Amino acid sequence: MFSTLRLVSSLLLGVAFLMVGAGGLSTILAFRMGEAGLPSTVVGMVTSMYFVGLVLGTGYCHRLITTVGHIRAFAALGSLMSAATLAHALTLDPWLWGALRFIVGFTTVGMYMCTESWLNEKSSNEIRGQVFSLYQIVLYLGQGAGQFLINVPDENGMLLYILTSILMSLAIMPVAMTRMSAPELPKPVRFRLSRLWGISPTGMTASMASGALMGAFYGLGALFAQQAGLVTQQTAQFMGAVIIGGLVLQLPIGKLSDMFDRRLVMVGVSLATAVVCFAIMNKDVHNGSALLALGALFGGLSFTLYPLAVAYANDYIDAEDRVPASGGLMMSYGIGASFGPTLGAVMMDVFGPPGLFMFIGAVACMLMVFIAWRITQRPGRPVEEQGGYHSLQRTSPVVYEMYPDTVDEDADDDPEDDTRC
């Protein structure tokens, strides 16, 4: 295990730099657009373009990687991301920023694909689950740390763009200098959304709802904090608390979903998310530790909806279809995330800062009602037949090659025969 971790440490270091830079950039941009007085709807539309880039970039980046190779593709995509980040400093034009957010989303998914295919190739079956978990922790911690970049003093308005660009450039170095042989990228398998709906309406709907509410938060959370009267340091603390809270509650909620009907757990999580959202709307909690506690609780609850959806859908999907079907779940998440920031921004324009969490709470309530109705239409799978819950962020479809429940239990794990290590 330790020899494998040493092999993939350069990849994880690159991911850490990438997540700090890209995670901080989204918060910085929302904050800057708020300072410029742009309407919330404009901010929402600009931030939505990042998720559009994520969705559309999957197929194009796959062709790029298979054509020029992992290292060249990673370096090219990272360089383009770094350049697009610096270009934000040229002018605060919403049309240009929307195009730049699309480019950053497009390049991000390609870099995820390179990294995840490498991690999967270099991990033996018996430790793939540990590598997968470590990768998810790096994603959460890197993204959480990136929220505090807005605390860096920036008198001329360019330093933060330079800093995030440097971090993205540093992400290229560990991968470009690796001596590991490049893996073969898995071929994409088409899995129609209509087929996914026929197999698991609950899993698909929960994925889309999770995308809508998380896209809205990622795109507009910093704007909410700014409009609610929080200073820069408090905004960073709030955003960081939400993301770190999302990591902390993964294990206990995941254990509950392995012990009971997952749909009941999703109903409970959706209800609790809505309650926390309505508590955050109260102006009396917008200053002090109460908002941080509610933010951490919100992250801890809402961040589990997507992995719960994936785990539930996998309970009904044949083993050979889990990887392509998971790509459909990821597409559903991306569709929801593409619309979430714009719809949340409309609510903020109408109702002020509380409109963001009014929208998120409404999505959670609608998901709760839908799942409760589905419980009456389909008997639950016995708990002993359920698969396992695993913490999971929306990155690229290749991550499901590492997903522990997709590994063939009968595969030969003899290290002498496993040429991937």
Q: pLDDT, tens digit, for every residue of 42-99? A: 999 999 999 999 888 887 888 888 888 888 888 899 999 999 999 999 988 999 999 9
pLDDT at site 221? 92
Only one residue has tokens 């961040």, namely 303
What stretch(es) of the chain map to CATH 1.20.1250.20? 1-178, 189-394
Compute the distance between CA of residue 238 and CA of residue 282 in angstroms, rounded to an integer. 15
Contacts of 179 (CB under 8 A, 6+ apart): none
Average pLDDT, the chain: 84
Mean pLDDT calculated for residue range 310-329: 78
Is residue 414 very low, low, confident or very high in pLDDT (cuts 50, 70, 90)?
Answer: very low
Indicate the burial class of 377 (C-beta count within 10 angstroms; 0-12, 13-18, 19 or more): exposed
- pTM of the entire predicted model: 0.87
Only one residue has tokens 């200073």, namely 231
Please write the tens of the pLDDT for every residue from 223-260: 999 888 888 888 899 999 999 888 888 888 888 888 88
pLDDT at site 208? 94
The CATH number for 1-178, chosen from 1.20.1250.20, 3.40.1190.20, 3.40.50.12280, 2.60.40.10, is 1.20.1250.20
pLDDT at site 98? 94
182: its two tokens: 């490049």
Mean pLDDT calculated for residue range 132-156: 86
Compute the distance between CA of residue 207 and CA of residue 325 in angstroms, rounded to an integer. 12
**Smallest Cα–Cα separation from 105: which of 72, 56, 138?**
56
Q: How many CA atoms lie within 13 A of 101 on its CB side?
A: 28
- Whether the predicted pLDDT of 118 surpasses 50: yes
Residue 35, amino acid: E
Compute the distance between CA of residue 375 and CA of residue 263 in angstroms, rounded to an integer. 7
Is residue 211 very low, low, confident or very high in pLDDT (cuts 50, 70, 90)?
Answer: very high
Q: How far is CA 104 from CA 15, 125, 222, 311, 329, in A?
A: 15, 33, 19, 29, 22
Range 189-394: architecture per CATH? Up-down Bundle (1.20)
Residue 338, amino acid: S
pLDDT at site 67? 83
Please write the tens of the pLDDT for every residue from 198-207: 888 988 999 9
